[in-house]
Amino acid sequence: MSETLHSRAQKLFAQSLVEGLGAAEQSWLEQHLRECAECFREAVSTRELLRAFRNVPVAVPLGLAARTQMRVRLRAQESAQTSSGGALLWVITVASWLLGVLSAPLVWRGFAWAGARLNLPKPVLELGFVLWWAVPALVAVGVVLHQRGLNSASASKQP
């Protein structure tokens, strides 16, 4: 039997494993394997190899699934808390902004009245007014950043 036939048989056999064969090629291959002991041995050998490959024992470490389930649940809870905390922060921010805008004329009148009583120069009044707006926002940003730091630290401590 020629090398070309053996070579074709081996190629078709590999093809049958990887992507499958058409009916005519399958039939040719089966016929060849019946007639050629060498190719038949090679085919059996490869099938045995794949069978052994499929049977390679892999034992999942004891408790891995349970540990993973616990960790996933904890992460889900943390995410839910962060998400609800974030929503609350948005509500407070919007409410605070609205309140600030609506109360701005009153606050300015208060500053003007206090300035007149204390005889303060206008730049000091303006600076006070700016700080009246800026300080709460800066405190809020500080709180948010601090909270994020705590969250990421606790996430990194997870096993």
Partner 1 sequence: MTDDMHTLADGLRRRDPDLLDRLIEQYQQRLYRYLLFLTGEPALAEDLFQETWIRVLERGHQYNAKSKFESWLFAIARHLVIDVSRKKKFRSLEELADPESNQRYEPPDERGVSALQLLVTRENEQAVQLTLLKIPAYYREVLLLRFHEELGLEEIAGVLSLPVSTVKSRLYRGLDALKSALPEGAA
Please give the residue ranges that form the binding site for partner 1 (CB under 8 A).
14, 17-19, 41-42, 44-46, 48-50, 52-58, 60-61, 64-65, 67-69, 71-73, 75-76, 79
Output 31 or 83, the one with its CB closest to partner 1: 83
- The SS3 assignment for 121 reads coil
**Helix 23-35, helix 37-54: angle, nearest 10:** 110
CB 10, min distance to partner 1, A? 10
Output 67 or 109, the one with its CB closest to partner 1: 67
- The SS3 assignment for 131 reads helix
Which residues, 6+ apart, have CB-to-CB distance to 26 below 8 Å? 16
Output 23 or 62, the one with its CB closest to partner 1: 62
